[in-house]
């Protein structure tokens, strides 16, 4: 699949992979902040942003999309950085193609399987989000505010709604639609939330050939202390950093701190 991408800067190649409901557009400010030190590529994963839609959506396909992208752009090795679903894409890619990675940076996601309806504080209920987006009847919508009001019925967080509304696309006839493939994401949500079974990583098959960093938002429950065991079963020498006063979307909440940690990890 030919993925849409944005490119900034020069230097060692760094590829940024967004998360679920996200797009390359969400990472432009981070990409520009890193462009003084890196050649930054920010990709739209399949069924997101301006990349093609497909009825299929799983990590085998997404890691193959990443490999195809690197081959197309003659990128032999790169620093791979992924957030949330993009972090899992990066982890699956690392398991199969470790020789293509210089460093691996995983942002606020663990290799575990997540439940579709998480009831923990500060954790997103994906079943509510995806169903709420599916229920928007665009034939009766004439403004962005009307979509927001519809989402507000089940999604009280203004911050979450603002993030989701970045996927709202206005057509030439002034009608609206979602730019992401909501139907495919809904049908494959359980697959998206699947993790890597660390018990299947046999001795000697752990990923140790390059530096690995996990970055957690202190206010997010996506990586819990109990997940450190699974992380280090797969990535034994992984470093784990915590950004204070940040939740799951720490690139939007604490961009300067995130960029500083990335530069310290890769450049020092």
Look at residue 153 in the predicted model and tell me its pLDDT: 93
Same-domain check for residues 65 and 148: no
Domain that holds residue 134: 126-190
In this structure, is residue 173 part of a structural domain?
yes
Same-domain check for residues 101 and 133: no
Same-domain check for residues 186 and 202: no
In this structure, is residue 120 part of a structural domain?
no
Same-domain check for residues 20 and 109: yes
Domain count, the chain: 2
pTM: 0.94
- Which of 149, 168, 190 is at the close of a domain? 190
Same-domain check for residues 96 and 217: yes
CATH number of the domain to which 57 belongs: 3.40.50.1820
Same-domain check for residues 99 and 226: yes
In this structure, is residue 9 part of a structural domain?
yes
Look at residue 121 in the predicted model and tell me its pLDDT: 46
In angstroms, rounded to a whole number, what is the distance separating the alpha carbons of residues 128 and 124?
Answer: 9
Look at residue 208 in the predicted model and tell me its pLDDT: 87
Same-domain check for residues 100 and 12: yes
Same-domain check for residues 109 and 148: no
Question: Mean pLDDT in each 10-residue stretch from start to end of the chain (268 residues)?
Answer: 97 97 96 97 98 97 98 98 98 96 97 73 73 93 94 91 93 93 95 88 80 96 93 94 94 96 94
Look at residue 122 in the predicted model and tell me its pLDDT: 45
- Which of 190, 208, 237 is at the close of a domain? 190
In this structure, is residue 121 part of a structural domain?
no
């Amino acid at each position: 699949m030919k993925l849409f991408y944005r490119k900034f800067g020069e230097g060692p190649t760094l590829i940024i992979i967004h998360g679920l409901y996200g797009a390359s557009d969400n990472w432009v400010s981070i990409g520009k902040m890193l462009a003084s030190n890196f050649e930054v590529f920010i990709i739209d994963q399949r069924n997101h942003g301006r990349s093609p839609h497909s009825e299929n959506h799983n990590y085998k396909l997404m890691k193959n999309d990443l490999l195809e992208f690197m081959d197309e752009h003659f990128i032999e090795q790169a620093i791979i950085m992924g957030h949330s679903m993009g972090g899992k894409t990066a982890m699956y890619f690392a398991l199969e193609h470790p020789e293509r990675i210089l460093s691996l940076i995983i942002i606020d996601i663990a290799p575990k399987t997540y439940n579709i309806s998480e009831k923990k504080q500060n954790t997103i209920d994906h079943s509510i989000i995806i169903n709420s987006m599916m229920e928007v009847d665009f034939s009766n919508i004439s403004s962005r505010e009307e979509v927001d009001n519809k989402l507000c019925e089940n999604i009280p967080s203004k911050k979450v709604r603002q993030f989701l509304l970045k996927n709202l696309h206005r057509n030439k006839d002034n009608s609206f639609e979602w730019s992401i493939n909501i139907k495919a994401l809904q049908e494959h949500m359980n697959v998206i939330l699947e993790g890597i079974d660390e018990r299947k990583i046999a001795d000697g098959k752990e990923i140790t050939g390059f530096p690995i960093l996990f970055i957690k938002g202190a206010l997010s429950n996506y990586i819990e202390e109990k997940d450190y065991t699974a992380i280090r079963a797969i990535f034994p020498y992984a470093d784990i950093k915590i950004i204070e006063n940040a939740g799951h979307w720490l690139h939007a909440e604490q961009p300067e701190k995130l960029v500083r940690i990335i530069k310290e990890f890769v450049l020092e």
